[in-house]
Amino acid sequence: MNKALRIAHILRNTSAFQGKDVVVQGWVRTRRDSKAGISFLEVNDGSCLTNLQVVLERDRPNLAALVERLTTGSSVEVRGTLTPSPGKRQSVELLARDILLYGWTDPARYPLQKKRHSFEFLRTIAHLRPRTNTLGAVARIRNRLSYALHTFFQEEGFFYVHTPIITTSDCEGAGDVFRVTTLNPTELEHANDESLYAQDFFHKPTFLTVSGQLQAEIYALALGKVYTFGPTFRAENSNTSRHLAEFWMVEPEMAFADLDDDLALAQRCLQYVVSDLLEHSWDDLQFFARFVEPGLLESLKAVKEQPFEVISYTEAVNLLKKSKEPFNFPAEWGSDLQSEHERYLTEKAFRRPVAVINFPRDLKPFYMRVNDDGKTVAAMDVLVPRVGEIIGGSQREERRDMLLEQMNRKGISLESYAWYLELREYGSAPHCGFGLGLERFVQFVTGLGNIREVIPFPRTPGHADF
């Protein structure tokens, strides 16, 4: 029964379909009944933002009764002829000959009305929100962005590797991880001690991964160039518009490469994906430029055309100190850059993506390569306007002695990471990589301020519905 043309396909090829018989299947967005016995339906099938206008003559046999039931949200199949439209808002319309109502929607109960709903409300009906213009456009852009990322890395010769989700290690040495267990906490009878794990599925404490990097390093040191693309987790109890408990990351890792190669890869990646979106998601991007972020298209074109501004952390701190900006947190060498600092650098100082490199050693995780100054590591944070950090990466410490020193200094268990140390013992090589947050990227290209709007089913403290 799946014989319909997609509306996106029809609208991209209107001259080919004009005067032709076509079938579309989709959902009624609105219906307008004119006095002249004509009804107009706006039908959307999700393939694109634009609705197809369907024209119905109500006086045709059996049609008058049916038309009454073509309510907002109802699903229909329409057969008819595609013709030029006399209307101003569309170039073509579908003169309906047959119409089939699959699923009627009771207008008195349907939560999506013909008005603007708040994002907060839409989140409570996450099973219906992709039927709105905004969330539908987000879904299509997220799809295209994901595929462009895959295509970029494939064309660059990277192999896609599935690093584990359930892990016994905790990449950053940070505390906020989710536990994975088959023990039922409400049925534990006694003995709240380590012996419990004998009954657990993996016989030891296991967690949801916070990053696939360390395992990606394994594959980079065998296949040369690899990337991950998968979900990652943080059990951080913070209810902000910037944090999710579950989000998606892309983490390339390449052998025989240093921080310069890493920077070059990140730049090619951003430029490739943004170019791809400007070509393939133009209508959806325009929608966001019109209703969400007025300067959106310009800022995307700038990313496509301009190289990153690369400055060291030390230079960045000096620049922030010299600026006259009234920061809430004054910039200080040795402290993390705050969101306000990142935005100043990329939105005011340089007005383009900025890569800050060579951060103080004590600010960054144990696996980053220590620079010759002994004080900084070969790290990079790529900042973009509005969003701030979109990519974080580094050259990895490939020298076993120095890695040991870093691990001891930061209290990392040598036993748990014995295999990671062995990578430095058997055919070690300079290597580097980065993590790109998919949701941050979608925020950047849509202008949406709240990260909960750019993932289908956001997981935040107290929220795991649907």
Comparison of 38 and 414: residue with beta carbon closer to a second copy: 414
Does residue 455 bind a second copy (CB under 8 A)?
yes
Map the footprint of a second copy across residues 104-143, applying CB under 8 A: 105-106, 109-110, 126-128, 130-131, 136, 139-140, 142-143
Does residue 77 bind a second copy (CB under 8 A)?
yes
Comparison of 27 and 367: residue with beta carbon closer to a second copy: 27
With CB under 8 A as the contact rule, which of the stretches 60-68, 99-107, 311-319, 405-413 interacts with a second copy?
99-107
CB of 130 to a second copy, least distance (A): 4
End-to-end CA distance of the chain: 29
Residue pair 461/176 in contact by the 8 Å Cβ criterion = no
- One of 19, 185, 374, 411 touching a second copy (CB under 8 A): 185
């956001």: which residue's tokens?
A: 458
d(CA 91, CA 81): 14
d(CA 138, CA 454): 6
With CB under 8 A as the contact rule, which of the stretches 2-10, 296-304, 336-344, 357-365 interacts with a second copy?
2-10
Within 8 A by CB and 6+ apart from 37, the residues are 57, 58, 59
- One of 152, 233, 272, 344 touching a second copy (CB under 8 A): 233
Does residue 420 bind a second copy (CB under 8 A)?
yes
Map the footprint of a second copy across residues 186-215, applying CB under 8 A: 186-189, 192-194, 196, 201-204, 206, 208, 215
Q: Give the x-and-dash track for 35-64 against a second copy (CB under 8 A).
A: ----------xxx-----------------
- One of 33, 258, 325, 347 touching a second copy (CB under 8 A): 258
Q: What is the DSSP letter of 345?
A: I
Neighbours of 114 (CB within 10 A): 9
In this structure, are strands 246-255 and 166-167 parallel, antiparallel, or unpaired? unpaired
Does residue 68 bind a second copy (CB under 8 A)?
no
Does residue 160 bind a second copy (CB under 8 A)?
yes
In this structure, are strands 309-312 and 246-255 parallel, antiparallel, or unpaired? unpaired
Residue pair 378/395 in contact by the 8 Å Cβ criterion = yes
Helices 296-305, 259-280: axis angle to 10 degrees equals 140
Site size with a second copy, rule: CB under 8 A = 116
C-alpha dist (Å) from residue 305 to 267, 272, 279, 299, 466: 11, 10, 14, 10, 41
With CB under 8 A as the contact rule, which of the stretches 52-60, 79-87, 253-261, 346-354 interacts with a second copy?
253-261
- One of 73, 80, 385, 447 touching a second copy (CB under 8 A): 73
